[in-house]
């Protein structure tokens, strides 16, 4: 049985997308994941594996902005019942090279629960998570506020003033690729 295969969900993560992506082929990605499979740790539930891989060849979905970066703002809610907000993305600019990358795998059993298994492989690649920092990027301040206040679309959490300040400073110089 094949150890790792590509699920169609990850195919949306391309250079032209707003998501982080791998600059090699999906076949190369599978080989990289298989070579690092022993470093994988359990994700949010059994059957979900987070596999750290060398960051070379990965791009984050984040763009550093400057006075020439074209920005686009939209106003709306992500989910029904959620408070709408202004979302600003970078239309121009280049995605930042990743300093950290991990690949999210779902086991065949987990995917089969919702009839989402596309292969007979033991695991399928679901997502590429790449970031432009060595440490976790701060959450966007709007998301932090939604969580902190227990609003619809948020997950209740407490943050310090320092964490809010760090997030505001970080995201005042960056935007997601739009």
102 and 50 Cβ atoms separated by less than 8 Å: yes
pLDDT in the model for residue 63? 95
Q: Which of 62, 61, 38 is nearest to 50 (CA)?
A: 38
- 5-57: pLDDT as tens digits: 999 999 999 998 989 999 999 999 999 999 999 999 999 899 999 999 999 99
Q: Which two three-digit tokens encode residue 6?
A: 């590509």
- 50-92: pLDDT as tens digits: 999 999 999 999 999 999 999 999 999 878 888 999 999 999 7
Q: Which two three-digit tokens encode residue 91?
A: 């239309």
Residue 124 in this model has a pLDDT that exceeds 90: yes
CA distance 108 to 120: 7
| DSSP-assigned letters across all residues of 59-78 | E-SEEE--TT--EEEEEE-S
Residue 153 in this model has a pLDDT that exceeds 80: no
CA distance 86 to 70: 16
Domains of the chain: 4-61+96-137 (3.30.2310.50)
pTM for the structure as a whole: 0.83
């Amino acid at each position: 049985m094949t150890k790792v295969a590509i699920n169609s969900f990850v195919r949306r993560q391309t250079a032209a997308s707003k998501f982080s992506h791998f600059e090699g082929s999906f076949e190369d990605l599978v080989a990289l994941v298989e070579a690092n499979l022993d470093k994988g740790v359990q994700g949010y539930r059994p059957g979900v594996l987070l596999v750290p891989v060398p960051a070379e060849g990965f791009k984050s979905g984040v763009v550093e902005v400057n006075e020439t970066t074209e920005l686009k703002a939209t106003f709306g809610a992500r989910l029904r019942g959620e408070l709408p907000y202004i979302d600003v993305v970078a239309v121009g600019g280049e995605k930042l090279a990743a300093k950290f990358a991990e690949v999210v795998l779902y086991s065949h059993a987990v995917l089969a629960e919702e009839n989402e298994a596309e292969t007979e492989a033991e695991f399928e690649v679901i997502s590429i998570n790449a970031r432009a920092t060595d440490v976790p990027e701060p959450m966007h301040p709007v998301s932090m506020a939604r969580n902190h206040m227990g609003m619809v679309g948020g997950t209740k959490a407490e943050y310090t003033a320092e964490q809010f300040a760090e997030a505001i400073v970080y995201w005042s110089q960056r935007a997601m690729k739009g």
